[in-house]
């Protein structure tokens, strides 16, 4: 048996390769988890959404609005009450799509080259190259995909998948009430004289009163909006100067304000929602730099997670019970991501061929949809 | 109410039946010995552009066009739906109705298959569909928007709004029966980009298969010309077979050698 046969790299495609793959994926020195914006906004659903025989993997998101009473009616004695309308539990359903990353493929002649390489440089080099190039790329794909879908869902209320080189089109629309889509206020937020902090405080107070809630709110914006609209806003700058002056710290005109300095000051503005900067710009070969969250969109929602990452079974894994004896497949679940790395060995003419693929059947769902507000900060209210 | 997921309440009694058989099948694929390499699926698959407008079936062995539309566009599938004419007169066209027939629906745009796949022909819109008989033959009687010149034995196919046969190439096969159960979104309609609730079907067809012609859905002459089999009575589809696209003028001008 040649040395290559017993190498760790070759074993990746055997049954014992699952453990090696798990070790690779779980090693932070080999695989880094990047583009994880989605994990700060959504939790992975601990339940698997089943796929039915019709090909649908349907999840349902329920939310009960907080009821509230109206003021009483002045009446004459013995006069009966008017019946009250009630609001039931709101829901929407969604289905989970299937996704696949660009795959790794190696023919026998390419393996031959690798074998010669191994004889010169050793197994660790091969494994490290495979892990840091191929596996890392696939893990990045999964994280990028979940983040880009999360950005779209949070900032528009829907996911229309127009990225990559696969099927394109509408995937999911959350049932956000129409009245939750707000405009900027009396002026666009790009107007530096607009009293931005006062407007945000008043908006939160109005929402709390209308919905009979007392949430801790957060305002999610992109870093470009933070730099261009917040740090340039007159009311914001004056507030930062004021709060620093109270601590006997002088902030000269034109002094660049840091994010930490600004946030520290803004925390002292009573009633203001927490400002959270979202950064989900990713690079995709087909689309270039992609930002599924437009810079002019702000999201106002309760502090905490926005919902779950729903996921379902992968048909390719279920079909393994019918697999051919000349094809072998290993499925390894990624940690912290509802996706599977799949290593396949199959025939290509007289020789073998090796594949590594990443498959995922998952989608984020917005589960606080009644309390999710999307603000178009570029459009002022019309008079 | 979302009828797609059967959500809703009716306080009365609903009477509803279905009937059929489970487990039986009409074997359409030629049974060959030895290692075959036919259940080969393309990358991604595609969106079915012409799903049935109601509850209906596509059958194992049905032909389709897989168009990856690379260069940033979207991969799509178009199913070759065919309907065999029993008789036609004026705006009434009677088509064969068997348990292995494609079901017609109001709104379908159909016409006699042209001489060349993807070619131009006269198409009409189906305004009504009625189950009836012509003699002892079960048929659907289609009421069409205008008179269709057709005779018994002609094969009707779907046409695109531009007056050309919708399926422009045959390079893939449906590998097992597919049940279409839901009201579909229409990718050709205005407003499709705002459609989230109606069904969209994603499918990966097989890129090769050999079928028994006698067991297949009716095949028009323009499709028979694309048969790669040298065995009489067998229909072979192989996306890697003889390149007939140039022969039949299916290549774009800049692709012609």
Give A172's contacts in chain B (Cβ within 8 Å). Answer: 196
pLDDT-based confidence at residue B69 (cuts at 50, 70, 90): confident
Q: Which residue of B has its CA nearest to A287?
A: B72
pLDDT at A2: 46
Q: Which residue of B has its CA nearest to A357?
A: B43
Distances (CA, A) of A99 to A78, A154, A314, B71, B228: 65, 20, 10, 19, 33
Q: Which residue of B has its CA nearest to A92?
A: B2
Is residue B252 over pLDDT 70? no
Measuring CA to CA, which residue among A228, A312, A303, A304 is closest to residue A272? A303
B45 touching A (Cβ < 8 Å): yes
Q: Which of residues 175-194 of B touch A (CB under 8 A)?
A: 179, 181-182, 193-194
B70 touching A (Cβ < 8 Å): yes
Q: Which residue of A has its CA nearest to B178?
A: A54
Q: What are phi and psi of A303, to 5 degrees?
A: -60, 140
Is residue B83 over pLDDT 70? yes
Task: Say what the ipTM of the complex is.
Answer: 0.70
Between CA A21 and CA A342 the distance in angstroms is: 10
Interface A-B, measured as beta-carbon pairs within 8 A, has a size of 43
Residue positions counted in chain A: 383
pLDDT digits (tens, 9 = 90+) for B37-60: 777 899 889 999 999 999 999 999
Q: Partners of B215 in the beta sheet?
A: none
Do the Cβ atoms of A167 and B44 come within 8 Å? yes
Do the Cβ atoms of B200 and A170 come within 8 Å? yes
Do the Cβ atoms of B193 and A168 come within 8 Å? no
Between CA B207 and CA B225 the distance in angstroms is: 18
Give B45's contacts in chain A (Cβ within 8 Å). Answer: 167
Measuring CA to CA, which residue among B236, B238, B176 is closest to residue B208? B238
Between CA A365 and CA B56 the distance in angstroms is: 31
Measuring CA to CA, which residue among A131, A146, A159 is closest to residue A34? A146
> What pTM was computed for the model?
0.82
Do the Cβ atoms of A93 and B2 come within 8 Å? yes
Structure tokens at A8: 């760790």
Is residue B256 over pLDDT 70? no
Contact A239, A269 (CB under 8 A): yes
The DSSP secondary structure of B11-51, one letter per residue, reads SS---------SS-----B----S--------SS-EEESS-
Residue positions counted in chain B: 257
Tens of pLDDT along chain A (383 residues)? 445 555 677 788 887 788 888 888 888 888 888 889 999 999 999 999 988 877 888 888 888 887 778 889 989 888 888 888 777 788 888 889 999 999 888 888 888 877 777 777 676 777 777 888 889 999 999 999 999 999 999 999 999 998 888 899 999 999 999 999 999 999 999 999 999 999 999 999 999 998 888 899 999 999 999 999 998 899 998 898 888 888 777 766 667 777 788 888 898 899 999 999 997 777 777 677 778 899 899 999 999 999 999 999 888 888 888 888 888 888 988 888 999 999 999 888 888 899 999 999 999 999 999 999 999 999 998 75
Which of A165, A167, A173 has the CB atom closest to B202's CB atom? A167
Is residue B153 over pLDDT 90? yes
pLDDT-based confidence at residue B71 (cuts at 50, 70, 90): very low
Measuring CA to CA, which residue among B78, B70, B130 is closest to residue B104? B130
Disruptive mutation site among A161, A169, A360 for chain B (greatest number of B CBs within 10 Å) = A169
Do the Cβ atoms of A166 and B7 come within 8 Å? no
Give A160's contacts in chain B (Cβ within 8 Å). Answer: 193
Do the Cβ atoms of B200 and A169 come within 8 Å? yes
Between CA A286 and CA A283 the distance in angstroms is: 9
Calculate how close chain B gets to A275, using CA atoms only, in Å.
32
Which of A58, A98, A165 has the CB atom closest to B5's CB atom? A58
Disruptive mutation site among A59, A158, A170, A363 for chain B (greatest number of B CBs within 10 Å) = A170
Give A167's contacts in chain B (Cβ within 8 Å). Answer: 44-47, 74-75, 202
Give A93's contacts in chain B (Cβ within 8 Å). Answer: 2, 5, 7
Between CA A174 and CA A90 the distance in angstroms is: 11
């Amino acid at each position: 048996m040649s040395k290559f046969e017993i190498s760790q790299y070759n074993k990746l495609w055997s049954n014992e390769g699952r453990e090696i793959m798990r070790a690779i994926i779980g090693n932070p020195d080999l695989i880094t988890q990047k583009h994880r914006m989605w994990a700060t906004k959504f939790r992975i659903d601990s339940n698997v959404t089943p796929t039915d025989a019709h090909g649908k993997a349907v999840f349902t998101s329920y939310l009960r609005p907080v009821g509230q009473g109206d003021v009483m009616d002045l009446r004459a004695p013995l006069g009966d009450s008017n019946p009250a309308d009630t609001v039931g539990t709101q829901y929407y359903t969604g289905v989970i799509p299937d996704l696949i990353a660009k795959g790794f493929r190696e023919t026998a002649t390419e393996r031959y080259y690798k074998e010669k390489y191994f004889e010169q440089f050793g197994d660790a080099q091969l494994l490290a190259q495979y892990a840091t190039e191929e596996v890392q790329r696939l893990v990045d794909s999964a994280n990028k995909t979940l983040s880009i879908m999360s950005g779209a869902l949070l900032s528009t209320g829907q996911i229309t998948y127009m990225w990559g080189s696969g099927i394109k089109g509408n995937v999911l629309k959350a049932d956000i009430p129409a009245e939750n889509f707000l405009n900027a206020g009396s002026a666009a937020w790009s107007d530096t004289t607009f009293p931005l902090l006062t407007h945000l405080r008043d908006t939160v107070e109005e929402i709390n009163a209308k919905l009979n809630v007392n949430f801790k709110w957060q305002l999610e914006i992109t870093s470009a909006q933070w730099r261009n609209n917040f740090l340039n806003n007159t009311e914001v700058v004056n507030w930062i100067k004021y709060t620093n002056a109270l601590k006997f710290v002088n902030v000269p005109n034109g002094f660049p304000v840091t994010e930490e300095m600004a946030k520290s000051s803004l925390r002292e503005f009573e009633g203001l929602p927490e400002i959270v900067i979202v950064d989900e710009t990713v690079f995709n070969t087909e689309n270039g730099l992609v930002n599924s969250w437009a810079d002019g969109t702000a999201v106002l929602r309760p502090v905490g997670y926005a919902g779950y990452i729903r996921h379902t079974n992968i048909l390719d894994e279920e079909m393994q019970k019918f697999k051919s004896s000349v094809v072998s497949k290993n499925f390894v679940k990624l940690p912290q991501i509802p996706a599977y790395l799949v290593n396949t060995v199959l025939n290509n003419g007289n020789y073998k061929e090796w594949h590594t693929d990443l498959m995922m059947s998952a989608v984020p769902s917005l589960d606080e949809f009644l309390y999710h507000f999307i603000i178009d900060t570029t459009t002022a209210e019309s008079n | 109410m979302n009828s797609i997921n059967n959500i809703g309440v009716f306080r009365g009694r609903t009477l509803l039946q279905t009937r059929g058989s489970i487990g039986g099948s009409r074997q359409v694929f030629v049974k060959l010995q030895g290692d075959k390499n036919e259940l080969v699926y393309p990358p991604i698959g595609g969106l079915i552009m012409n799903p049935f407008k109601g509850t209906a079936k596509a059958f194992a062995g049905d032909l389709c066009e897989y168009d990856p539309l690379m260069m940033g566009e979207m991969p799509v599938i178009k199913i070759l739906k065919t309907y065999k004419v029993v008789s036609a007169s004026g705006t009434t066209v009677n088509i064969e109705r068997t348990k292995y027939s494609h079901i017609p629906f109001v709104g379908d745009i159909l016409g006699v298959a042209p001489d060349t796949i993807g070619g131009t022909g006269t198409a009409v819109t189906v305004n009504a569909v009625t189950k009836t008989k012509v003699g002892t033959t079960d048929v659907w009687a289609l009421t069409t928007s205008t008179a269709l010149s057709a005779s018994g034995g002609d094969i009707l196919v779907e046409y695109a709004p531009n007056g050309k046969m919708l399926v422009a190439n045959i390079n893939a096969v449906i590998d097992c029966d597919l049940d279409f159960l839901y009201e579909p979104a229409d990718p050709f309609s205005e407003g499709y980009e705002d459609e989230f609730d109606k069904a969209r079907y994603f499918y990966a067809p097989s890129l090769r298969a050999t079928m028994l012609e006698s067991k297949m859905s009716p095949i028009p002459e323009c499709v028979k010309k694309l048969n790669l089999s040298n065995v009489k009575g067998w229909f072979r589809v192989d996306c890697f077979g003889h390149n007939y696209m140039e022969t039949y003028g299916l290549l774009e001008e800049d692709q012609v050698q």
